[in-house]
Amino acid sequence: MAKASSRATASSEPDVGSEIRRPRRSRVGRLRLFFVGLVVGAVIGAGAYAVFVPSAVVSGAWCSVNGQVTLTGAGATFPFPLIDKWRSEYNKKCPNVQVNYQSIGSGGGIAQITANTVDFGASDAPLNAAQRAAAPGLVHIPETIGAVTLAYRIKAPSGTFLSGGLNLTGDVIAGIFLGDITMWDDANITALNPQTPLPNQSIFVVHRSDGSGTTFVFTDYLSKVNSTWASRVGKGTSVNWPVGLGAKGNEGVAGVIQGQSYAIGYVELAYASIQKIAFSTVKNPAGTFILPSLNSTRAAAAAAGTLPGGGDSWQNVSITNSAAPDAYPIASFTYLLVYQAQSDATIGKVMADFIWWAVHDGQQYAASLTYVSLPANVVTLNEATLHGLTYNGQPILSG
């Protein structure tokens, strides 16, 4: 399904309202991409992961355009800190290219790209069969890997707030979000935390109120580990929550937690780390209580197995509850969504160049924001997907 043509202005930013409008398109000069043949890999672990030093060099000639070109995107809040970093860094290299990304949740991103109102969408949840049927030709491009934390703010009986050390299991997490475990000093929690002073206070549960890929990852995990959750609630970007207060976006959930004294919710690791919110360990299938971290998230992704091509179904791709002994059990890829057949030559080329940069050079910014850089095999997969993008039946990228 080809996208509707976009227009650009020389200097104005796109209007942001109930839907994102594209800027008018200016005419651009020829864009050139210079490749170097050297990829320097700092191999981690068994060699599946590498830190990439530029495989695509951004040059003044490659970035030159007549007037301003703005790419519009919308979707997941999960990767927003990294996408926002990419936006600013890419603009330093290509001053005439602006990236306007609206962090509205994965459900909103899927809806926007399906309606052709943005140039790219973003989602932590892969498209299901119905969503793929509604947007034929939409491809998945994994952009990074992250973890979903159980973030909390708990005032201990002494009056101080716990700074860490809480242990949880999948069954206990499910019990809390089902409303079956309602007190912080419930025996199911204290048994896991004999050295932690837990208060005799009601648990304040916080969840997402919007269509959310973070919710999808969290409920995918709970559906795997707890049969009651699987039968009563299930998994999805939106579910019928048995208990709790809803908040919009990862930032909204984090904000509510910070404003309470006995709260717990699920937020992406970058948000918890940046806002200095305590988060628990979670017991993995190997029986180890694991903190979310770069290493434990990387371990989950390394056990993902063979991945589909960008244009194939990713519906069954999941790295939650990994059997890897050192893996954190609530981890996920997150995806950019673009149409394989582009209907605007300018936007298609500029977008392909930006995403190529993001999955190569842009990965250097992942670790500092607590995202895992893409492994070499996923970068190779993305390269094939990007080389498959077309305009009028012709490849957009050369080489």
pLDDT tens-place string over residues 275-303: 999 999 999 999 999 999 999 999 999 99
Q: 192 and 268, same structural domain?
A: yes
Q: Does residue 239 lie within any of the structural domains?
A: yes
pLDDT tens-place string over residues 113-165: 999 999 999 999 999 999 999 999 999 999 999 999 999 999 999 999 999 99
Q: Does residue 335 lie within any of the structural domains?
A: yes
Q: Does residue 24 lie within any of the structural domains?
A: no
Q: Does residue 288 lie within any of the structural domains?
A: yes
pLDDT tens-place string over residues 160-185: 999 999 999 999 999 999 999 999 99
Q: 196 and 252, same structural domain?
A: yes
**Could you tell me the pLDDT band of residue 43, with boundaries at 50, 70 and 90?**
very low
Number of domains the chain is built from: 2
Mean pLDDT value of segment 359-377: 97
CATH number, residue 93 = 3.40.190.10
Q: 297 and 160, same structural domain?
A: yes
Q: Does residue 226 lie within any of the structural domains?
A: yes
- Please give the share of the chain, as a percent, with pLDDT higher than 90: 82
**For 84, phi and psi rounded to 5 degrees?**
-65, -35
Where does a domain end: 286, 301, 316?
A: 301
pLDDT tens-place string over residues 375-389: 999 999 999 999 999
pTM for this entry: 0.85
Q: 280 and 156, same structural domain?
A: yes
The span from the CA of 127 to the CA of 165, in Å, is 36
Q: Does residue 214 lie within any of the structural domains?
A: yes
Q: 133 and 66, same structural domain?
A: yes
**Could you tell me the pLDDT band of residue 64, with boundaries at 50, 70 and 90?**
low
Where does a domain end: 264, 285, 301?
A: 301
Give the residue from 362, 340, 337 showing the smallest Cα distance to 142: 337
**Could you tell me the pLDDT band of residue 398, with boundaries at 50, 70 and 90?**
confident
Q: 167 and 271, same structural domain?
A: yes
SS (H, E, C) the chain: CCCCCCCCCCCCCCCECCCECCCCCCCCCCCCCEECCCCEECCECCCCECCEECCEECCHHHHCCCCCEEEEEEECCCCHHHHHHHHHHHHHHCCCEEEEEEECCHHHHHHHHHCCCCCEEEECCCCCHHHHHHCCCEEEEEEEEEEEEEEEEEECCCCCECCCCCEECHHHHHHHHHCCCCECCCHHHHCCCCCCCCCCCECEEEEECCCCHHHHHHHHHHHHHCHHHHHHCCCCCCCCCCCCEEECHHHHHHHHHHCCCEEEEEEEHHHHHHCCCEECEEECCCCCEECCCHHHHHHHHHCCCCCCCCCCCCCCCCCCCCCCCCCCCCEEEEEEEEECEECCHHHHHHHHHHHHHHHCHHHHHCHHHCCECCCHHHHHHHHHHHHCCEECCEECCCC
Average pLDDT, the chain: 87
Q: Does residue 46 lie within any of the structural domains?
A: yes
**Residue 271: predicted pLDDT:** 95
**39-65 burial, b for 16+ CB within 10 Å, e for fewer?**
eeeeebeeebbbebeebbebeeebbeb
Q: 170 and 128, same structural domain?
A: no
Q: Which domain holds residue 104?
A: 34-145+328-395
Q: 296 and 168, same structural domain?
A: yes
pLDDT tens-place string over residues 211-252: 999 999 999 999 999 999 999 999 999 999 999 999 999 999
Q: Does residue 13 lie within any of the structural domains?
A: no
Highest mean pLDDT among 13-27, 42-56, 312-326: 312-326
Q: 278 and 154, same structural domain?
A: yes
Q: 213 and 168, same structural domain?
A: yes
Q: 137 and 155, same structural domain?
A: no
Q: 158 and 289, same structural domain?
A: yes
The span from the CA of 374 to the CA of 50, in Å, is 8
Mean pLDDT value of segment 68-87: 96
The span from the CA of 173 to the CA of 284, in Å, is 13
pLDDT tens-place string over residues 313-342: 999 999 999 999 999 999 999 999 999 999
Residue 134: CB partners within 8 Å, gap ≥ 6?
114
